[in-house]
Amino acid sequence: MEPVRDHRPGAPKRPRGWSVRFRILTAVLMTTALGMMAAGLTSYAISRQDVYDGVEAALRQEVNEFFEASNEAMNGPGGANITTVEALLRATIKATYPDENEAVLGLVNGKLELHPNKQSELQTSVQGDPEVIAKAAQVRPGDPILPQQISNERNRNLAFVSVTAQLPGSDDVGHYVAAVDIDTAFGPLNSTYRTYALVCVVALILVGLVGFVVSGKLLAPLRTLRQTAQEIGEGNLSGRIPEDQLTSGDEIADLGHTMNAMLDRLSTSFDEQRNLLDDAGHELRTPITIVQGHLELLDQRNPTEVAETVDLSLDELARMRRIVEDLMILAKSRRPDFVRPGPVDVDDLLGSVLDKVKPLADRRWRIDRTVHAVIELDQQRITQALVQLVSNAVRHSADGSVIALGAEVLPDPDHPTSHRLRLSVRDEGAGIAAEDHQRIFERFARSGPAPEHDHASGHPEGSGLGLAIVDAIATAHRGRVLLHSRPGRGSTFTLDLPVITDDSRTEEVEVPDHRHPIATEQESPWPRS
């Protein structure tokens, strides 16, 4: 894998380093080669010593055979005929049958006198080597019998032993010489380890090929990640690491999934930001245009027109302020501290919200049902959401109609050991068409015009961000907003939230007893006509 480089204009050039694949393969191959070399050298050293021990054992065996043969010759039927050292050596060598890598000589007074009739290549070479004969003749009677080693052009690596022989009453000194070719003894061992070296080379090649392919597949997500990161810009967030490269289930696959998820979030954030700016620009342009148009046409000499224009401008500025404040709330909704849960008594929460909303309009205010339970919620945000839903209900319902709050705790159908809190706002307004159920939760979306009498009563038109804020508050509580509505039959908006108690945020919660529909109608502060 190539190193990621800075492609910005004017960026300093950095020296190109080795790729990750090359470094991985180098480390693997070097470790494997060193392991093979260490194992081979250790085994070769042990086997080499075994060969030397075998050579010495062969020479000892030749010495023992010489002693046995000489005793048999001296004490046998023809022993009386052996009167010279040469006769003794002849009888002994005659009974000797050396192997292909062994040679036997008989020296009398330092001169070669006897050798086997069977001539091997080694036997011929040793017989014609004066250095071997000279060294063998240097051994004197009584000297210890020790193996000697010689290496020259004629015999590259030869081990031999020289045993003296002398008969009583004779000044002649004989030498029985047994030699072993060390190179020949090492032949099978060297052949074996040449094969081992060849196998190691082939194994390293196979390891390199397999490592190249495997590391390529493992690092493919990283290469794609690098390419994707280089291609990412504000105008192009569509690049993703293909899922077929993330099937290994290891850390690199996890990194790829995390990268894709991050790109999804970035793409969503950029889209939302773009849409927000487009919608905000559109929504703010209208009141600005209205104010600008009235100010340009304002007759400053007409007090009545000035007063009307000031009132209209203040009203439009108030609407812009509401839009900006709502946009700020939505901008904060993705921050981790947007909600700050704490223990909230649900029954007290409904009562508090009801007290806040009763002055909004002449409605029959009710609490359909409530629960006695303390649940972890952000009381301010939930109150904000319920008040917003009530404001929508007021805007789209008639004077004297019912607006009801409700609360209940139900088992979670997806998690049998958990429960969910449902906080609802019900009205008897115009209702919402089924095709608009999803759209009205979008920013600056509206379900339709408010009733004429509602405009006349002074209820301000919404910014189109209220339900988007409610949905953001529910999402921040890991919940959702449910809508049940039919045209002409009213609407019920429900905050569906997971139940988390004050004692534990994860433990199973006992469902509290409901105060079943009490339908307590609250007195409206508005005068009845």
> For residue 447, what pLDDT is reported?
58
What residues pair up with 426 in beta bridges, in sequence order? 404, 492
Q: Which of 215, 201, 207, 221 is nearest to 22 (CA)?
A: 215
Q: Which of 334, 346, 434 is nearest to 386 (CA)?
A: 346
Q: Which of 43, 44, 40, 2 is nearest to 204 (CA)?
A: 40
> For residue 91, what pLDDT is reported?
85
Residue spans of alpha helices (H) in 152-250: 182-231
The Cα–Cα gap between 438 and 482 comes to 10
- Look at the block and give the residue holding tokens 């042990």: 46
Q: Report CA Rg, the chain.
A: 52
Give the residue-averaged pLDDT of 68-76. 83
List C-alpha distances in Å: 11 to 7, 14, 230, 233, 415: 7, 9, 15, 18, 54
Residue spans of alpha helices (H) in 233-378: 251-296, 303-332, 346-357
Q: What backbone phi and psi angles, to 5 degrees, belong to 366?
A: -140, 155
Give the residue-averaged pLDDT of 430-458. 65
> For residue 31, what pLDDT is reported?
94
Q: DSSP string covering 466-519, please?
A: HHHHHHHHHHHTT-EEEEEE-TTS-EEEEEEEE--BSS-SSS--PPPPEE----
Of 179-183, 232-236, 523-527, highest mean pLDDT: 179-183
Output 121 or 210, whichever has higher pLDDT.
210
169: left (phi over 0), alpha (psi -120 to 50) or beta: left
H helix and E strand count, the chain: 11, 14
Domain 338-522: give its CATH code: 3.30.565.10
The Cα–Cα gap between 170 and 164 comes to 13
Give the residue-averaged pLDDT of 344-373. 92
Helix (H) or strand (E) holding 371: strand 364-371
The Cα–Cα gap between 52 and 48 comes to 6
Return the percentage of the chain with pLDDT > 70, whole number: 85
> For residue 13, what pLDDT is reported?
55
Q: CB within 8 A of 294, min separation 6: which ones? A: 309, 312, 313
Lowest-confidence range among 13-22, 157-166, 441-450? 441-450
Span between the terminal Cα atoms of the chain, in Å: 81
> For residue 461, what pLDDT is reported?
54
* Residue 233's pLDDT band (cuts 50, 70, 90): low
- Tell me if the pTM is above 0.75: no
Output 75 or 105, whichever has higher pLDDT.
105
The length of the chain is 529
Secondary structure of 185-204 as H, E, C letters: HHHHHHHHHHHHHHHHHHHH
